Amino acid sequence: MGLSLYESASRGNVPFEPADPERVRIYTCGPTVYRYAHIGNLRTYLLTDLLVRTLRFLGYGTFTVQNITDMGHMHQGQLEAGEDKVIAAARAAGKSAGEIARFFTEAFFLDAGRMAFLPADVYPRASEHVPEMIALVSALDDRGAVYGEGGYLYFDVTKAPGYGTFSGADLGEAEPAERTDETIHRHKRRPEDFTLWMPAEPGREFQWESRWGRGWPGWHIECAAMAIKYLGPEFDVHVGGIDLRFPHHENSRAVVMTATGKRFATVWMHAAHLLVDGKKMSKSAGNEYTLDDLGARSRSGGKEFSPADFRYYCLTLHYSSPMNFTWDGQEAAARARIRLQAAFRRAALQATSGEDAAAASRAEFRGAISDDLNMPRALAVAHKAVRSGIGGDVARSLAAEWDTVLGVGLLSEADGDSEVNGVR
């Protein structure tokens, strides 16, 4: 059975056919580094990890890029009315935006290691790739897809053939395609048009020279420019959260296809939302849980929930299914993980047996992960296999093989054994 993936643009499972099986190229929208990652963020980033682990398990080679958004997107004077994530956090902490971004970038890497995420090959910082963004805006300008005044440049979405078909957005009916402040909207011709470049006000920390004057880039041009630099204008898979499908992914896709005439990503994959007790996470609701919050919460046995426990919880649902996090659900997942661990350890201490059962289980496991990364089914295979009479080297071999995908420490003596260190 070959690998098939759910493709968001076509809204259906498609056979996976990379341009180069030895170097599958993957881009992931990474963190905006102004706070600690919460468990919803981590569930989204887990999708890329599972994709990469599955591809490697199936014999593919991979090359992954995950960006770091480390600069703000609002005018200084608008911070009281809205919230520029990087700059507002810096002001609240009495630090520079650069200092805040560097601190939370390191915090993100730490959490990625605790979650056993395989490190990306490249982590481009947006602030270090503004020349590439300026070049991409220039290419769009040369193609007549840019307009503006007063230092503001906008992308004319009518110049992008088929704009809206990716996300289902209808021209003239969409909300403004920005996450920036309202200052920039007054020059726009239509709500869907989005900012490519904005003028820098005095005192702004993030600003660069361009042929349009000193300024700073819009959000949607960032990922487009970094993806092109490291993966080219056509690559295999683009990954992100479902909340990015519109406007961010629609707009990034439109920019690249208009500027280059190329396809951009062949397959788009989106992770579904994570709710907490049926509610959206928010500071005001007090439910924006981090890994440290999980670690501070004890289950009934007295042991704190580990990152591996949360990872296992995520694997009990398909990545495309919304996840409703509850403490009872987390406890059940933690207990199931410990039971599976203990069962494999006991089996490993027995005499070697169950070769035929192992062969059938291997085929089932491969079939599960090849079916759009069906991790709930893969976990079920692991639970069934360890009850089927396997023992000794057979049990150890299966646990080691399958944990290269699952990453939950099937034979580990401690949760930390499955962590990936040195992520940069």
What pLDDT, on a 0 to 100 scale, did the predictor assign at position 100? 82
What pLDDT, on a 0 to 100 scale, did the predictor assign at position 171? 61
Tell me the pLDDT tens digit for each residue of 206-250: 789 899 888 989 889 999 999 999 999 999 999 999 999 999 999
What pLDDT, on a 0 to 100 scale, did the predictor assign at position 258? 96
Q: How far apart are CA 294 and CA 277, in angstroms?
A: 15
What pLDDT, on a 0 to 100 scale, did the predictor assign at position 86? 58
184 alpha-carbon distance from chain centroid: 28
What pLDDT, on a 0 to 100 scale, did the predictor assign at position 184? 56
Question: What pTM was computed for the model?
Answer: 0.90
Residue with tokens 């997107």: 73
| Residue 2 near residue 9 (C-beta atoms within 8 A) | no
| Residue 71 near residue 206 (C-beta atoms within 8 A) | yes
What pLDDT, on a 0 to 100 scale, did the predictor assign at position 78? 39
Could you say which residues of the chain have pLDDT below 50? 74-83, 177-181, 414-424
Q: How far apart are CA 201 and CA 198, in angstroms?
A: 9
What pLDDT, on a 0 to 100 scale, did the predictor assign at position 83? 42
| Residue 190 near residue 164 (C-beta atoms within 8 A) | no
What pLDDT, on a 0 to 100 scale, did the predictor assign at position 209? 87
Our CA dihedral for 384, 385, 389, 392, rounded to 10 degrees, sits at -140
Which neighbouring-strand residues pair with 267?
A: 237
What pLDDT, on a 0 to 100 scale, did the predictor assign at position 161? 85
